[in-house]
Amino acid sequence: MTKVGIISLGCPRNLVDSEVMMGLLKDKGYQLVDDVTTSDIAIVNTCAFIEDAKAESIETIFDLVGLKAKKKIKYIVAAGCLPQRYKDKLKSELKEVDGFVGTGDIDKIDKIISKISKRPLLVSKDPAFIYSHTHPRDLITPAHYAYIKIQEGCDNRCSYCVIPQLRGGLRSRPIESVLKEIKNLSRNNDISELNIVGQDTTFYGYDLYGKKRLAELLRRIARMNKRRWIRLLYTHPAHYSAELIKTIRDEENICNYLDLPIQHISDRVLKAMNRKTHSSSIKSLIEKIRKDIPDVAIRTTVLIGFPGETDSDFRKLLDFIEETRFERLGAFTYSNEEGSRSFSYKNQIPERTKKERLDEVMKLQRRISEGYNRSFLNKTVDVLIDEKDAKDENLFIGRTQFDAPSVDGQVFVKGENLKISDFVKVKITDTLEYDLAGQAVSL
C-alpha cells in the first residue's frame, strides 16, 4: 500500500485543504502517515501570500528534495498557493518535484498521484473549487478541535493582497452544507471547539443569498451542541453588523473573542490599502463591541511599513494601539508582492525602517499583554485542555476562550486526572508575558 504524508504550511484555511486532500486519498486506499520521512509520496501544501511564506515553502520543498536524494521518499508533490501562483516557473526550475496541483484542483489530488511518474501539473487558471460536506476530511489538528471553512476566495481587493489571484473571488458554502459537515465531523470526533474560518467571514453568504448571513449561521452552529466552543476568525471591520455582535454576545458557547484585523488607523494609509473603512468607523466598531460584549478579547493585526507610511502615520497607529489596548495583536511588515496593486506604488519603505517600527509595536504590545494577563491573577476561568506534558503527569496545557489555537497564549494547568478535550475550571496563580499558569479546581 502506497504511503502518503503531508506538510501543511500557512494558515488554518490552508490546513483545511490539506485535510480534504488527505481524506480523499484515504478514501482511495492510500495509507496516510504522520511523518513524511516514512512516506512514499510527500505532499507539501504551500503558502505564497507574502515573501516569508514563499521562502518557507521553497525551503520545505528543498528539504524534501534532500530526503528524495537519500531515497527516504520516492516522490514529491507541491500543492496549493505556490504552484497556483508560479506554476510554469516551478515546473521548469524544480525538476526534482514530481507533481503540482493548485488551489482550485485539490479535489483531484488522487489524479496527480496516479500519474506521478509522468510529472503531472494540474493548476486551473481561475481557481473555482470549494469543498463541501460530501468531501471527506482527515483531521490534522488534535481530534478535539477543528477548523470549518465557510467560504473561499475574496472580493475585497486590498491593494497589498494577492489572495484573489491565488484563491479566486468570494464563494460561500450553503448554510446546510456547513451544518452537515459539522454533523459528519462530530460523528467520528469528540470535538470541543469549532473554529470558523474564511477570507472574510463577516461577508459570508452575500454571493449566495444577496445578504450577509454569518449571524444566522453562527446561531445554528451554536445550537447544535451547547457544550463546545465556537470561535470566529478572519473578520473584516467594514462588514460587521449589530446582529452579528448581538449573536456573539447572546449565544453562550460562542467565544467572546473576535479576530478583527484593522491593518492600520491612518485614513491616508487605509485608503491606499483599499480597506474600505476609515479610522472613525474602526473606533466606533471597537467601542460598540466592547460596550455590547463587556469581557470580549479582540485580536487585531496591523501591517507595518506600507508604501508611503510616514512617521506621522506610524505614530497615529502606535498611539491608537496604546489607547485601545488590544488584548491580542499580531504585527507584520509589508511585503511587496508582484501582482498586487501596491507593487508599483512609490515611496517604498526601507526594510530597516520597517523592522524598527515593527520592533516598536511589539515592544508596546508586550507591555499591554502583560498588563492584560495580570488581570486574570487569582480569578477562576474555564480552560480547554489541549495536551499533556510529556514529563509531568500532573501538568497540562490548555487555552481560555480568549486564545485561538496556535496564535495566542496558553494556560499551564496543574491537576490530576485531567483529559485532553476537557473543559476545566482553573484558578490562575501566575501570569507570564503571553501565557497564564494555574491550578485546576473543583466547584
Domain boundary among 327, 357, 374: 374
300 and 384 fall within a common domain = no
CATH number at residue 434: 2.40.50.140
* Residue that the C-alpha cell 458557547 belongs to: 253
**Within a domain: 137:** no
390 and 370 fall within a common domain = no
**Within a domain: 366:** yes
User: Which element (helix H / strand E) includes 323?
Assistant: helix 311-324
Residue 315, SS3 per DSSP: helix
**Within a domain: 39:** yes
Q: Which three cell numbers stand for residue 391?
A: 514529563
Q: Among candidates 255, 279, 260, 414, which has minimal Cα distance to 326?
A: 260
CATH number at residue 81: 3.40.50.12160
Distance CA 315, CA 69 (A): 51
Domain boundary among 352, 374, 396: 374
**Within a domain: 132:** no
**CA 297 from centroid of its chain's CA atoms:** 17
221 and 370 fall within a common domain = yes
368 and 384 fall within a common domain = no
**Within a domain: 87:** yes
297 and 211 fall within a common domain = yes
Query: Could you say which residues of the chain have pLDDT below 50?
Result: none
190 and 251 fall within a common domain = yes
Q: In what order do the strands lie in the sheet with 75-80?
A: 31-32, 3-8, 41-46, 75-80, 99-101, 121-122
Q: Which three cell numbers stand for residue 393?
A: 503527569
49 and 161 fall within a common domain = no
232 and 262 fall within a common domain = yes
pLDDT tens track for 287-316: 999 999 989 999 999 999 999 999 999 999
Q: Which three cell numbers stand for residue 419?
A: 483529559
411 and 276 fall within a common domain = no
**Within a domain: 332:** yes
178 and 278 fall within a common domain = yes
Beta bridge partners of 299: 259, 328
pLDDT of residue 443: 58
**Within a domain: 153:** yes
Q: Which three cell numbers stand for residue 332?
A: 507584520
pLDDT of residue 188: 74
Question: Which residue type does 281 have?
Answer: S
DSSP state of 263: B
Q: Which three cell numbers stand for residue 172?
A: 460561500
Do 48 and 54 form a contact (C-beta atoms < 8 A)? yes
Residue 363, SS3 per DSSP: helix
Domain boundary among 319, 342, 374: 374
Q: Among candidates 376, 266, 261, 277, which has minimal Cα distance to 329?
A: 261
CA separation, residue 137 to residues 78, 107, 148, 181 (Å): 19, 11, 11, 10
Distance CA 156, CA 161 (A): 9
What is the DSSP annotation of 402-425?
T--TTTS--EEEE-SS--TT-EEE
- Please state whether beta strands 3-8 and 411-414 pair in parallel, antiparallel, or not at all (unpaired): unpaired
208 and 341 fall within a common domain = yes
**Within a domain: 58:** yes
Distance CA 276, CA 249 (A): 26
- Domain of residue 17, residue span: 3-122
370 and 385 fall within a common domain = no
Distance CA 115, CA 143 (A): 32
Give the number of C-alpha atoms closer than 13 A to the C-alpha of residue 165, restricted to the C-beta side. Answer: 19
User: Which element (helix H / strand E) includes 144?
Assistant: none
CATH number at residue 353: 3.80.30.20
Total domains in the chain come to 3
Confidence (pTM): 0.96
